[in-house]
Structure 1
């Protein structure tokens, strides 16, 4: 039997702190389909923590991949 971890919902202040972007930058990236969309909770919204973590991992991988050749040119 597999154990499922419960989903955790983050509110905007936690998202901003986790990703290091401003509130307006988060919403701009959502509009551009470049950031996880929030889920609606009545009149408020929240983000699934695992989706935010996956986005962070993707940014790390993208950054490391694009800068892989830069180290040799600076030596």
Structure 2
């Protein structure tokens, strides 16, 4: 039995959530976005949100890189 991924099963998170999670600044993340090293935001009107799953994948990749 295959389970299909649904974006409705994911959370949209704010930059405030991301900075609190990581302890890094929003300026740092926007720099990473401009360099293509962090997921681009989903624009909802004038608001920016990220899929929590993409943020978690990015964070897991950083953890794995630090362990090599």
* TM bucket, shorter chain: 0.7 to 0.9
Q: CA RMSD in A?
A: 1.4
The answer to whether 1:51 aligns with 2:51 is no
Higher radius of gyration, 1 or 2: 1
Q: How many aligned residue pairs are there? A: 65
Q: Kindly tell me: are residues 3 and 32 of structure 1, through their superposed partners in 2, closer, same or farther at Cα, counting changes over 3 Å?
A: closer
Which aligned runs of 4 or more in structure 1 are off by greater than 4 angstroms? none
- Unaligned ranges ≥5, structure 2: none
- Unaligned ranges ≥5, structure 1: 66-75
Indicate the residue corresponding to 2:19 in structure 1.
Answer: 16
State TM-score, norm by structure 2: 0.86
Comparing 44-53 with 18-27, which one deviates more in the overlay? 18-27
State TM-score, norm by structure 1: 0.78
SS, match of residue 47 in structure 1: strand
